[in-house]
Amino acid sequence: MGGVVFGAAETTRTLTPGEYQDITYSWSRAGEGLHHIFAVVDPANAVTECREDDNRTGVDVTVSLVQPFPDLKIGTEDITMPAGAFTEGSIIPITAAVGTSALPLRDVSVSLYLGSPSAGGVQIGATTAITSLDAGGSIPAVFSFDTLAGRGTTWYILPLTRITA
């Protein structure tokens, strides 16, 4: 038969005639290129069976190097707003400089929230679209924060910036 055995898996119970069980095996050391993968049951013919000619199947798999994903980044120092005191009803422009690492990116939506979005945070302004950004670059996303009905409230933006309206 040839080939190299790279793993084995077993059923979790004894199978009776007519039964089957799906077996999953994870293979993580595949090199780049075309691989002829075979699954073989009872390779030594140790189990007496009515048919021995159906114990092998195969598939061709092509593995290619995966391009890493762009790495979006934003830090505390990347969020800016005008200095000064704000009164209730003020519209405050907040700029968030969104950057990327070694790969360019395209068609990314950016939103700003008061508090964590997964914990009920409220979106500030409209979602901004970044159509493209070169590798290693940065682009400003500007949001309008309306402080109406926020008098006496302390707001936390991306929990690192504090505004008292």
Give CATH superfamily name and number for 72-164: Immunoglobulins (2.60.40.10)
For residues 101 and 153, which has the higher predicted lDDT (pLDDT)?
Answer: 101
pTM of the model: 0.50
Q: Where are the domains of the chain?
A: 1-66, 72-164
Q: Among residues of the chain, what percentage have pLDDT more than 90?
A: 5
Note whether 145 and 124 are within 8 A (CB): yes
> CA 38, CA 42: separation in Å to the nearest integer?
13
Report pLDDT digits (tens) over 137-152: 999 999 988 887 665 5
In this prediction, residue 164 has a pLDDT band, given cuts at 50, 70 and 90, of: very low
| Nearest residue to 112 via CA among 92, 89, 132, 136 | 92
Average pLDDT for 79-104: 85
Tally of CB atoms within 10 A around 32:
9
